Amino acid sequence: MLFDRDGTLIQDVPYNGDPARVRLMPHARAAVEAVREWGVPVGVVSNQSGVARGLLTLGAVEAVRRRVEELLGPFDIWAVCPHGPADRCGCRKPAPGLIHAACAALGTDPRRAVVLGDIGADLAAARAAGARGVLVPNAVTRPEEIADAARTAPDLLTAVRGLPAGAGDAP
């Protein structure tokens, strides 16, 4: 099970490199705990273009990662893209690179993965990788992204509960 970071697990604070500003999204803890109870590995896939833009350092991204793990426990993998949109890399969502990297590190086929995110790029990356995606809209999710999503949920816990037990590890 792969979670987007900003706007999905934690509140989206643009280019946040300050661990003190990390606030969990509603039901994030319960959703992550439910997946762990299934025995399914959990990971985070996150674009962090603030690094390429000179607004963040990799150390600041790491500090936020540590804070998220203080609040939610350790994740099995963190796959982070530090590139900007102009870099045209293969890891920046909506490209599938982060999903592929996370699945490779977890030793699983992307077709067995579920990606939970709050914007269309999260679901596009899931589709491009062959994974399943669930959109958990928030205030920044565009109406057309909601309309285009094959599967949506009003919050993270509902998204997780709507999947079959062990969905992130199902063939």
Amino acid at 133: G
Indicate the SS3 state at residue 100.
helix
* Residue 4 annotated as catalytic: yes
**The one catalytic residue among 6, 18, 109, 122:** 6
* Residue 6 annotated as catalytic: yes
In this structure, which long-range contacts are made by residues 80-84, counting pairs with CB atoms below 8 Å and at least 24 apart in sequence?
Answer: 80/44, 80/45, 80/46, 80/47, 80/48, 81/46, 81/47, 81/48, 81/49, 82/48, 82/49, 82/51, 82/52, 82/58, 83/49, 83/51, 83/52, 84/49, 84/52, 84/53
**The one catalytic residue among 4, 87, 118, 169:** 4
Would you name the residues annotated as active-site residues? Answer: 4, 6
